[in-house]
Structure 1
Amino acid sequence: MTTPAITDSHCHLDFPDFDGEHAALIERAAEAGVHRMVTICTRLRLEPQVRAIAEAHAPVFYAAGTHPMSAGDEPMATVDQLTEIARHPKCVGIGETGLDYHYTAETKATQQESLAIHIEAARQTGLPLVIHARDADDDMARILSEEHAAGPYTCVMHCFSSGRALAEAALGLGFYLSMSGIAAFPKSQELRDIFAAAPVDRILVETDSPYLAPPPKRGKRNEPAYTAHTARVGAEVFGLDYADFAAQTEANFNRLFVKAA
């Protein structure tokens, strides 16, 4: 009986939490059925370290961008810089980028400027945009929609935990929603209801590790292997057998992250 294969579509393997542990992490992930992972660069000056992890490990791919919470204290990315990085065979996405008004509302204008640059890079490269959205639902929906009307691009709303209106706006543009450990928390029924109303062919799973470990690992350091716990909850949300849900999320991931397929 083989464990159904799934992909952790968003983790942060370059964070110090995982120093010296990459081989062991990847092995534990494989035992849980997590045969691929996308590690996400959040500050472009750290891209070489993120890239090196992907180069060293066959199951690891990466995406590169400037996180909205870092937009105010990092040099502004350029479209040329992002498109050049995107030429690497293991670079499969642009981001994470987006808007975060929870902790960093004072850099709102800078975040929006950075987001526009990342969107243009996603357009030019054909790689999916990886979006972080927090306490910015109205601006997020408006900017994604206006930009998409100006020229299409593909996108995943990573660690989706926003409101129903943003979910509907993103899905209406053909984008994907990714389930993190938050969707598995006992108090997240409202979020699970939002996912349940979405087309199952637009759902990805992720850890966002080292953060947001799902039950029964909540409060511990998260890691790619734990994607399986969130995916089991996802299967329940959509009323599917685990194997069928796993196969569906794999098909979804391959359709969006074409380079990793």
Structure 2
Amino acid sequence: MLIDSHAHLDSPRYADDRELMLRRAADSGVGAVLAIGIGEGPAEMHQALNICREFGGKSGMPRLYASAGIYPHNAAEANDAAQAKLDRLLSEPEVIACGEIGLDYYHEGAPHPVQREGLICQLKIAAARKRPILIHCRPKEGVTDAWDDLFEVLDEHWASTGLGGVMHCFGGGWEQAQRSLDLGFLISFAGNLTYPKAQPLRDVATRMPIDGLLVETDAPWLAPAALRGKRNEPAFVTQTAQTLAELRHVSSGEIAAATTKNFTRVFNLMA
């Protein structure tokens, strides 16, 4: 069984075939999906939970979990009402993580100090609810500015919780991977692992300890190389897992078993 640890199931791009898309995932061997609850802003961060409740438990479907969080670009919207909504969502049993949250200095968005404050306030809410976090971190091209600021925040406001989390759609180097592992985070690789120009990322994936790995789609974006340009969906996580297996000279089954074990551990889903 594989787990897609990060998919935006509430995307409007699935509006016409969401149920069929989820059935394709199950048919491909995807046993669970973590639906990311950020929407287009705090007003929509409940949508992932709604999808879990609509489709979860149906025959022929993967198991569905949800997250909730305020994306870095929307950090200016993290007012008292949004924070209260996030707290309520994190109290729901299906909502197993806070995210995706973090810092994005690559795109135009909220000013960096606003992103930082939005991240810190969400870390406090997640810690109080004992929920691991899903981190989005994207620096400007060729520098590590967002990573440097992220680790400063995590060292001060998160490390002591021991809750860890996931570095989603990891795009850093080995130094950032090692620091993440030291903080108790898993490193999640998406479809861009398969892209021809992603050799530095594949080098990191090869060095990773097996108990620090996850796979994801970040659907509907980042379809694997063979499907690039098409809408991504959870079924395609199998291609990322296959690439990871080939890089590490192990079977796809070993990657599936390890990443499933890692997922259940970080989110405290062990029976």
- TM-score exceeds 0.5: yes
Task: Give a deviation string over 1:82-116, Cα, whole Å, max 9, x none.
Answer: 33211212111101100000113651111111111
Equivalent residue, structure 2, for 1:57: 55
Post-superposition offset of 1:77: 6.7
Residues in 1 aligned to 2:162 and 2:121: alpha-carbon distance in whole angstroms:
14
SS in 1 for 2:45: helix
Partner residue, 1:45: 43
The answer to whether the 8 A contact 2:170-2:188 is kept is yes
Superposed counterparts of 1:224-235, under 5 Å:
224-235=234-245
Counterpart in the other structure of 1:204: 214
Secondary structure in 2 aligned to 1:216? helix
The amino acid of 2:64's aligned partner reads: V
Identity of aligned residues (%): 36
**Secondary structure of the equivalent of 1:54?**
helix
Q: For 2:2 and 2:154, how far apart are their aligned partners in 1?
A: 28
Secondary structure of the 2:180 match is helix
Q: Is the 8 A contact 1:154 1:175 kept in 2?
A: yes
1:15 corresponds to which residue? 11
Q: Does 1:96 align with 2:100?
A: yes
1:70 to 59, 74, 83: 74
Residues 1:260 and 1:182: Cα distance change in structure 2 (over 3 Å): farther
Cα drift, residue 151 of structure 1 = 3.6
After TM superposition, give the deviation of residue 197 of structure 1 in Å.
1.6
Q: How many Å apart are 1:260 and its aligned residue?
A: 8.6
**Residues 105-114 or 154-163, more deviating:** 105-114
Instruction: Name the CA shift for 1:76/1:83 in 2 (closer, same or farther; >3 Å).
Output: closer
- What is the identity, as a one-letter code, of the residue corresponding to 2:18? H
Q: What is the distance in 2 between the residues matched to 1:52 and 1:112?
A: 29
Cα distance in 2 between the residues matched to 1:77 and 1:202: 35
One-letter code of the match for 1:233?
Answer: T
Give the TM-score normalised by the residue count of structure 1: 0.92
Aligned to 2:193: 183
Aligned residues: 257
Q: Decide which moves more: 225-234 or 45-54.
A: 45-54
Cα deviation digits, residues 201-259 of structure 1 (max 9, x gap) = 01111000010001211111100100000010111222211111110000001001224
Q: Alpha carbons of 1:238 and 1:60: their partners in 2 closer, same or farther (altered >3 Å)?
A: same
Bigger drift between 202-211 and 73-82 goes to 73-82
1:105-138 CA deviation, whole Å, 9 max, x = no partner?
6511111111112212222222210000000111
Question: For 1:227-246, what aligned pairs fall within 5 Å after superposition?
Answer: 227-246=237-256
| Distance (Å, rounded) in 1 between the aligned partners of 2:159 and 2:77 | 30
Q: Is the 8 A contact 2:76 2:118 kept in 1?
A: no
User: Secondary structure of the residue that 2:91 maps to in structure 1?
Assistant: coil
Q: Distance in 2 between matches of 1:127 and 1:100?
A: 22
Q: How far apart, CA to CA, are the structure 2 residues paired with 1:100 and 1:208? A: 16
CA separation in 2, counterparts of 1:259 and 1:125?
15
Gap change, CA 1:117 and 1:78, over 3 Å in 2: farther
- Which of 206, 220, 225 is the aligned partner of 1:215? 225
Compared with structure 1, are the counterparts of its residues 227 and 139 closer, same or farther at alpha carbon in structure 2 (3 Å cutoff)?
A: same
Q: Mean alpha-carbon deviation: is it higher for 20-29 or for 73-82?
A: 73-82
Q: Which moved more, 1:63-72 or 1:140-149?
A: 140-149
- Structure 2 Cα separation of the partners of residues 169 and 219 of structure 1: 33
Q: 1:110 — aligned with what? A: 114
**2:163 and 2:184 in contact (8 A); partners too:** no
Task: Indicate conservation of the 8 Å contact 1:90/1:259, yes or no.
Answer: no
Supply the distance in 2 between the matched residues of 1:149 and 1:35 (Cα, whole angstroms).
Answer: 31
RMSD over aligned Cα, in angstroms? 1.9
Alignment of 1:137-156 (within 5 A): 137-156=147-166
Relative to 1, partners in 2 of residues 1:195 and 1:50: Cα closer, same or farther, differing over 3 Å?
same
